Amino acid sequence: MLTLKVINDNPEEVIKKLAKKHFDGKDIISKVIEEDRKRKDLQKELDGMLAEINAKSKSIGALMKEGKKEEAENIRRFVQDIKGDVQTVEANLKQAESHLQDMLVQIPNLPSDEVPEGKTPEDNVVEKTGGEIPDLGENPLPHWDLAKKYDLIDFELGVKISGAGFPVYKGKGARLQRALINYFLDKARDAGYMEVQPPYVVNYASGYGTGNLPDKEGQMYHVTADDLYLIPTAEVPVTNIYRDMILEEKDLPIRNTAYSACFRREAGSYGKDVRGLNRLHQFDKVEIVRIDKPEHSYESLKEMVGYVESLVAELGLPWRILRLCGGDMSFTSALTFDFEVYSAAQKRWLEVSSVSNFESYQANRLKCRYRDVDRKIQLAHTLNGSALALPRIVAALLENNQQEDGIRMPDVLVPYLGFDKID
């Protein structure tokens, strides 16, 4: 959520930056400024009334001691009348604050100056590429056929148990899942991230804090009986560890990593490359989260991008990094880099990670702050990234490494798998 200071200090610049995200902010920014002015006026009126009540109330005792009972009684009645007016002003102030909050959550984060112009994924900028696309000859098998051939993943059984988008991993397919999770967690710990194991459900305050709620796209599963939400990513519970906290500057940056199952309704995505592991309702992912000082957050983002790059490179997959344009960014991000790996059988790029800096946008909602060396309290910056999401990594590993006698596994995974080939 944008701070009122940012909006009030330079509304024209805010409107200009929002336009890069293809968000027309002219009307709502004007309304926010007007409502904030109203809120300040009401607060000033309330403070004045409370100060007058306090001063008058103190005089009553002195007048009683002096025997001026009638005068004291007149002041007491006056104070009671003002208290009635106070209740009205307090109600108006509360309403103004609520209205202001409702408008602020409708405004996306401002894109960084580094965000390229553009509206669709085709406008994203390819920053870097690596690895070699394998030559699989004619008619290579897509991962869903390989999964069936080697009895690795049962999509039909998942439909029977839950529905489409909930696959059942079996045998070496299940071991591959576990190997990747352990490999990614070990790599994250070696890179200085503290491992945590968060809940898979969160309350409204947690979803609100990271900007997932209100759920504008209907992507979260809602457990209505308990008013809890299944997490779309470990980012939500891990970042909320620091909700309503004041950290010390010496403890920054904070680095956390977590494995979790992730749940997404994928509303509106049917028919869009949904076959096999390409788009699921439940999938596994290892997440990295950082809390940092504003002046260091973009250096942290660079480090995180470099770390994720090392993961895809060590797996031996063809990869590329995209700098997302304004129209393809998330609501909450200030700058995002997407990682894609190439699926040689499907002949297409598959997104496997997004690494983002949210600057103070999430922190303002979370009330995640830190105390600097001058003991001044400031909003922190939050960052996160997938390191990595498993389904499309598995798809690319199966497809790109297929041979006539089986599927070769990357050397880095062999110690975790206990085998070097699926056959």
Confidence band for 143, pLDDT divided at 50, 70 and 90 = very high
The tokens describing 383, both together, are 């960052």
CATH superfamily of domain region 4-104: Serine-tRNA synthetase, tRNA binding domain (1.10.287.40)
In this prediction, residue 269 carries a pLDDT of 63
The 10s digit of each residue's pLDDT in 64-120 is: 767 777 777 677 777 777 888 889 999 999 999 999 999 999 999 999 999 999 999
The 10s digit of each residue's pLDDT in 191-202 is: 999 999 999 999
Q: Is the peptide bond before 253 cis (omega within 30 degrees of 0)?
A: yes
Q: Which numeric CATH code is attached to 121-422?
A: 3.30.930.10
The tokens describing 373, both together, are 């060396």
Give strand pairing partners of 340.
320, 351
The 10s digit of each residue's pLDDT in 29-75 is: 999 999 999 999 999 999 998 888 878 776 876 667 677 777 776 77
Q: Is residue 156's pLDDT more than 90?
A: yes
**Do 4-104 and 121-422 have matching folds?**
no
Q: What's the burial of 243, exposed, middle or buried (CB within 10 Å: 0-12/13-18/19+)?
A: middle
Q: Is residue 128's pLDDT more than 80?
A: yes
Q: Is residue 221's pLDDT more than 90?
A: yes
Give strand pairing partners of 369.
246, 379
| HEC assignment per residue over 27-53 | HHHHHHHHHHHHHHHHHHHHHHHHHHH
Residue boundaries of the structural domains of the chain: 4-104, 121-422
Compute and round to an integer the Cα radius of gyration of the chain.
27
Q: Is residue 272's pLDDT more than 70?
A: no
The 10s digit of each residue's pLDDT in 163-220 is: 999 999 999 999 999 999 999 999 999 999 999 999 999 999 999 999 999 988 899 9
Rounded Cα gap, residues 391 and 147, in angstroms: 12
Provide mean pLDDT across the span 265-287.
Answer: 85
Rounded Cα gap, residues 100 and 148, in angstroms: 54
Name 345's Cβ contacts closer than 8 Å, sequence gap at least 6: 136, 140, 141, 142, 143, 399, 400, 402
CB atoms within 10 A of CB 392: 25
Q: How many CA atoms lie within 13 A of 72 on its CB side?
A: 13
The 10s digit of each residue's pLDDT in 308-342 is: 999 999 999 999 999 999 999 999 999 999 999 99
Rounded Cα gap, residues 353 and 320, in angstroms: 11
Provide mean pLDDT across the span 367-376.
Answer: 96
330: left (phi over 0), alpha (psi -120 to 50) or beta: beta
